[in-house]
Structure formats: C-alpha cells, structure tokens
Structure 1
Amino acid sequence: MSVFAHFVLSVASLLGPLLGASATAAAIVAITVAVRLALHPLARAAARGEKARAALAPRVAELNRKHKKNPERLRKALADLYAKEGASPFAGFVPMLVQLPVFFLMYRVFSSSGGDLLDHTLLGAPLGGRWSDALADGGVAGPHGAVFLGLFAVIAAVASWTYLRARKAAATAPPAAAPAAPGAATMAKILPLLSFGTLLTAAFVPLAAGLYLATTTAWSAAERAWLQRAPHVALNAAKSTS
C-alpha cells in the first residue's frame, strides 16, 4: 500500500465514528478539497494572468496587424510589451501545469491502490468497482448502480453549469480586435463541451476515482466563478498591467 493510500485510510479512521462504512469515500472528498485549497494560490495566479492577457489583447492584436509580415519584429514587439507591462503570456498556464503532478498522483492512487483502499464502500458500492460492475450486479437501478447515477448527476450538473457560463461569457465578450485564426470559431464552440468529458471518464474508472473527479471539477467550477467575480483579483490584475 502506498504512503498516500495509507494517509487516506488514516483520515477515514478519524471519520469512521461519524460516517461508518462510507468514511473512506468521505476521506477522498476531504483530501481532494484540502489539496485544492492548498493549491488555491496557484489558481489565483492563473486568474490574474488570464485577466492580464485579456487587458493586453487589443494591443497584442494591433501589434499583430502592424507586424504581420515581419515575424521577427512581431516577436520583439510582443516581448517588449509584456516586459513593459510586467505581464507574461504564460502567467495563467504555468500555475496550472504545476498542479498536474498532484492531480495525477491522486488519480493514480484512487484508480489502482488495491484492496487496502478500494475494497471500502460508499453506500454499499465498492470504491474499487466500476459502472460496468454495477450494471452486472443489479442493473442501472440496482443499489450499486444508483450510487453511480448519483455521481453522474453531480458531474453532469457541474459540467452543464460550466458549459452555460462559458457560452454566456463568449456571448458577452467584446468583438475580436483582429481576424480570428482559421478554425477558431469552431474551437470556441467545442471547448465548452469538453467539460462533459469528465462524465464519460467517470463511467470507466473506479468509483473512488469518480469521487475525486466529481470533487475536483466541482471545486474548479466554483473557484473559477468566484475568481472571475472577485474584485481584489481584478484589482491585482489591473495593477499588473498598468
């Protein structure tokens, strides 16, 4: 058993008196929330980077038009602009890349930890079981199938909310200051649909991994909505581009 799996079971033992057989499932949710909370400063940095890039977008588009026939001069002009404004075109991406190893570790543990972790249950459904197992043991409406349906409902609700917010943001965004790249309009329509990919993934991974996916995607959706509306994040972004 890995060190992380042992940690999950230790947290579950603390929750056991309150939650009984579902304590391990609750521990997965609690640890996922704790990790996302610890990584929140990186999400704030990503939000500031996104706002900074949005503020500079008209000037970047103007430079693209001005130097479209001179790629070398365009690269220098863009570098000078970002240096002058104290911003970076990658400010919003680097923090997200830092999170990937953490999420990969958690997913791997929840997907293949073996009996010590995945033999525990949530409302009677084994954390190591997949939806196909639930379908074979009682069908869609069976006791185990119902647990997966509840999980799918949570993920679908989060994905739908994320999709609708993305559509609303796209509809209210100001017109592009420069011609869009070929295929950009199609990608703009497809990208919001990718939030439903988590739903498809949850249908094939163990229940424990599905719990992790549901928790982290719900956190991401709520966190992003809050950061987009938080006035202090917008203020920090404005300072970084002034």
Structure 2
Amino acid sequence: MDPFAFPPLAALLNAAYGALAGLSTALEPLAGAAAAAMAVVLVTLLVRALLIPVGVSQAKAEQTRARLAPKLRELQRRYKKNPERLQRETMALYRSENTSPFAGMLPVLAQAPVIGILYTLFLRPDIAGHPNELLTHDLLGAPLGTSFVSAVLDGTAGAATLLVWAGLLALMIVVAEVTRRVFRPAPLDDSPLNSPGMLRVVAAMHYLTAVFAVLVPLAAAVYLAVTVVWTLVQRMLLRRRFPLPDAVSPGAGSVR
C-alpha cells in the first residue's frame, strides 16, 4: 500500500515538491545543473537551524549524564547482582535530574520525516499526477534520483557517479571517525557497556549513516552528508559551552 495515496500525505508531498522545485529554479542562475542539489543543501541547513534548541537541550542532558556518572557507578556497585533493581534505580536517578539516557536520539527522530520526504521526492517518477522534474537533475553528473547501490547493480555507475559518491561517503566516514574519537563516552565501572563486544558495537554505530546513505537516492545522501557535518560542528561548539565535569576539573585532559 502506498502511504502517499492518502490525501493528506499526497498533499504534503506535492507541497514539498513545489517548494523544492521552486527553490531549485531560483538557484539555477547561481548553481546551474547542481541547483536541485544546492536546494537540498539549503533545506538541510534550514532544518538543522530550526533544531538548534534541540541540540542545546541535548548538550545540557549530556553534561548532566556526565555529572551523574559517579552516582551511576555507585548504583552499579550496589545492585550489580540485582539487574531489575539496578534498572529501576537508574531510571529513578535520571527522572530526579529531569533527563533521560535517550535524550540524544531526539535530533535523529526529528529529522526522520524530512529524510523520508526527500527519499520519496527523488524516487517517484510522478508527483500528484505530473512528471517528477526533480529526477532530471544531477550533481556533477551523478543523478540525484539514483542510489549508489542501484547505480552499481544496474551498471549505470559512470566515473562521475562514482567520484561524487566516493566524496560523500569519504566525508561521512571522516566525520564519523572524528565523532567517535572526540565524543567517546565516559566508561562506567563494571558496566556491560564496557565489554569488548559492546564497545565495538557502539563504535560501529557511528558509521551507520554512511551505510544507510548508499541505499537512498543521492539527494537524500547529500542531506545526510550535510547534517553529519553540521552535527559534529554543533557538538564541538556546544561542548565548549556546556563542558563535561572531567573537562573542567584541574589537571583534566582533553575533551572526550
């Protein structure tokens, strides 16, 4: 079943198409053939700018969690043989501080509808009964409506397509590696999260965006690339504004 056959969603998709196509047309004198890609970049920047208050809240929550780390270690020491009690006490501690261990997921969830609409706009051959002109656009010769996996499997991945995708994926991987190194979470004593297997899983999660990007149209991948760069820069700036306790203590090392 096509969810966009539902009239309200169809109207939303058509409105998004009109806005993006109009922005692309306005940018053509400046960006030429890459006008649609530039429009996606501007939409990304607008979305992330609107989410700045969410990022600030996330940074405050991260600072609070770091401050609670000694209490969490004490709870783990006290209730390590009683997992159910440990879970209850941990959640009670978070509630008492008006925060949550899942606060960092909000920016990702807030962007999901935008990514879904971009994915659909560059996937459907027609929008509201008229041809989808966005599919005629490209970025430096790479079609905006084609995913990396589709281009490779269909044999349509030319040199331009491969170079554009290589650049985007390299950018996302570099950002993921910097994020992994700079924002490594503080370890908790005797925590299952400190096991080698779990640490590998946590490290690998930083690269999920690059994995997901190869499955979506290039336009959506451009959105993902811009947003991960924004996220890294924003987190670095907010970490300076809301430093973690160990980053401001005497003799502390570099910010993690």
Q: Give the TM interval when normalised to the shorter protein.
A: 0.7 to 0.9
For the aligned residues, what is the CA RMSD?
3.2
Matches within 5 A, 1:1-242: 2-68=14-80, 78=90, 81-82=93-94, 86-90=97-101, 92-93=103-104, 95-96=106-107, 98-114=109-125, 115-131=132-148, 132-133=150-151, 136-137=155-156, 139=158, 142-166=159-183, 169=184, 173=186, 176=188, 178-181=189-192, 184-231=195-242
Q: Which moved more, 1:128-137 or 1:46-55?
A: 128-137
Provide, for residues 173-196 of structure 1, a one-character-per-residue CA deviation record: whole Å limited to 9, x for no partner: 4x63x4122774422233222222
Contact 1:45-1:91 at 8 Å conserved across structures:
no
Paired residue for 2:4?
A: none
| TM-score under structure 2 length normalisation | 0.73
What is the CA–CA distance in structure 2 between the aligned matches of 1:29 and 1:198, rounded to whole Å?
Answer: 17
The alpha carbon displacement at 1:75 in A equals 6.5
SS at match of 1:2: helix
Q: Mind listing any 5+ residue stretches in structure 2 that lack a counterpart?
A: 1-12, 126-131, 249-256
User: Greater relative contact order (Cα 8 A, min sep 6): structure 1 or 2?
Assistant: 1
Gap change, CA 1:137 and 1:102, over 3 Å in 2:
closer
- What is the alpha-carbon distance in structure 1 between the residues aligned to residue 81 and residue 177 of structure 2? 42
Deviates more, 1:205-214 or 1:143-152: 143-152
Give the structure 1 partner of residue 6 of structure 2. Answer: none
| TM-score normalised by the chain length of structure 1 | 0.76
Q: Distance in 1 between matches of 2:69 and 2:167?
A: 42
CA contact (8 A) 1:110 1:208 kept: no
Instruction: Give the deviation of 1:23 after TM superposition.
Output: 0.6
**Equivalent pairs: percent with the same residue?**
31
